[in-house]
Amino acid sequence: MEKLNIDCLVLIFDELLDDSNSLYSCLLVNREWCNLVVPILWAEYPHYYLRMKIAKEKLSNVILSCLPTSSKQLLFDNNIKLPLTNLSIPLTFNYVSFFKDLKVKTIYNIINLVFKKEILIGVNYSKRRNLLEQEIYKLYISQCKSIKSLEWKTSQSLPSFPGALTCFSQLYSLDIGIDYINPDNLYDMAQICKDLNELFVYNISQDILGLIYLIDVQKNLKNVSFDFKTKKKMCKELSITLARKGGTINNLTLYNSIGVISHSFLTSLINLKDLTIDHDNDCASYEEVKEFQKHLANSKFSDLQSLEIAADLLCFKELAMLVEKTKGNLSSIFIYTFSKSSENTGMFLKTISNHCPKIEYLSTYIGPKDLIYVKSLLMNCRNLINLCLRSLNENDDIGDELLDILTNFSPKVLTDITIYGGWKYSIDVLEKFFESYRGRKLRFFIYYNYIEYNIHIVDVVKKYYSEGIIIGSNLLHYSV
């Protein structure tokens, strides 16, 4: 049998990555296979096993064993005792050098293992903890040749550690906790990594020049997520910088951004495919909300595929204007609001019906006059798999009408339906709806207090569950 060359073997082993048992058996074949498989396994090992207590301790001990003698001596001199008794035999590989992700949880697990029997308070503990953290990060940065993903939530000056240029030069994803780091270190990181694809930043409250510079130097920034907290000053420069990246950003997520950053940059994101805006902070003024709505309505995301808006404000009209300007590639829409007004919900449904033929997942609201648009939606959007409808007016009783429309017009692939609303349902209409799903498998959920006291509806759901038509429902758990 002709021997496969190393490149072919690596390609094969990479394909086996999702089957860890098979990949593990490959390293037992011979020394050459072992040398090829171990780096692949250990590049993923921390990610898969961090939740398991025994595995976490083993992983932590392996990393501690890789510390150089100088670090171990420094820690010993500062009364930091390492639990290395079960790893007295020299390691076969330098396992740390294989890691591709540097996660905060991995560092915390090691620190907790070392100090688990100590009282974790006082200046002395803080100093020793900081020293241990420093040496662990130095180990990673000096040994890892190409970290792809970094969670940067520490005051340690990571870009200044020996080996940082090599370690971070191919960084793909960067997750920053602004509250933890020294902002000046962002300038140093910007000199090293300029090909970030993903950037996640948390707890932004004002413009940070180092962060703005880091964003500016990126050549291919595609996925951006910003989490804002109570504002100190308006983030004007950050908005301008994001506008300059409008040609590359495909995915954008904003948390609590209204009133903290100007959304004028949205109109510059000409290649956006996924947009998520989640705002649960009610500190925004009326003027700030109107400013957000204006920029949302003026934006044009032709290639948009996923839209998620969760906010304590009404913007169905603006969302309809946004959807109308897409090219029909939207496959997922999720809308959630705390508002109780159903203004323009029908307009939004109508727009989805007319402009989203590929929609598969939809969660939105309906008012008492919107059933005609629900019918149109079901008739035009035949790829719809998952539908969630919420009521903004609990006083309207449209339950039977809604079920009739779902019975007569639902596409064959629509098998996951959720309804939030204080509507009543006749038993015969409900049974007719379930009968229309014979030959299919339905997941059906209804949420409102009335259901809890209607034993007949619960009994009907349980009946069709026993017949295999309904495969999941919240009503199966009610005992009335």
What DSSP assignment string belongs to 353-401? HHH-TT--EEEEEE-TT-HHHHHHHHHH-TT--EEEEEES-TT---HHH
Looking at residue 45, what is its pLDDT?
A: 59
Give percent of the chain above pLDDT 70: 81
Looking at residue 81, what is its pLDDT?
A: 86
Q: Rounded to a whole number, what is the largest CA-CA distance in the chain?
A: 79
Both tokens of residue 411?
């596409």
DSSP label of 150 = E
Contact 417, 440 (CB under 8 A): no
Task: Find where tokens 């969302």 sit.
Answer: 319
Who wins on pLDDT, 342 or 470? 470
CB atoms within 10 A of CB 463: 13
- The chain-wide mean pLDDT, for the chain, equals 86
pLDDT at 469 over 70: yes
Beta strands 332-337; 442-447: pairing state: unpaired
In this structure, the dihedral spanned by the alpha carbons of residues 151, 221, 214 and 181, taken in order and rounded to 10 degrees, is -20
What is the radius of gyration, based on Cα positions, of the chain? Answer: 28
Task: Find where tokens 């100093």 sit.
Answer: 127
Encode pLDDT of 431-451 as tens digits. Answer: 999 999 999 999 999 886 545
DSSP label of 248 = T
Contact 175, 147 (CB under 8 A): no
Q: What is the mean pLDDT of residues 269-288?
A: 86
Q: What is the mean pLDDT of residues 132-143?
A: 95
Looking at residue 472, what is its pLDDT?
A: 94
Q: What is the mean pLDDT of residues 317-333?
A: 96
Looking at residue 5, what is its pLDDT?
A: 64
Contact 231, 205 (CB under 8 A): yes
Most confident residue range from 223-232, 429-438, 453-462: 429-438
Give percent of the chain above pLDDT 90: 57
Encode pLDDT of 7-56 as tens digits. Answer: 676 565 565 566 566 666 666 666 666 666 666 666 665 555 545 555 67
Rounded Cα gap, residues 415 and 438, in angstroms: 11
Per-residue burial over 191-213, b if 16 or more Cβ lie within 10 Å, else e, is ebbbebbbbbbbebebbbebbbe
Looking at residue 27, what is its pLDDT?
A: 67
Looking at residue 1, what is its pLDDT?
A: 41
Looking at residue 55, what is its pLDDT?
A: 66
Least confident of 83-92, 193-202, 208-217: 83-92
Q: What is the mean pLDDT of residues 54-75?
A: 84
Q: What is the mean pLDDT of residues 322-350?
A: 90
Residue 142 confidence class, pLDDT cut points 50, 70, 90: very high
- Within 180-295, strands assigned E span 198-204, 223-228, 251-255, 274-279
Looking at residue 351, what is its pLDDT?
A: 97
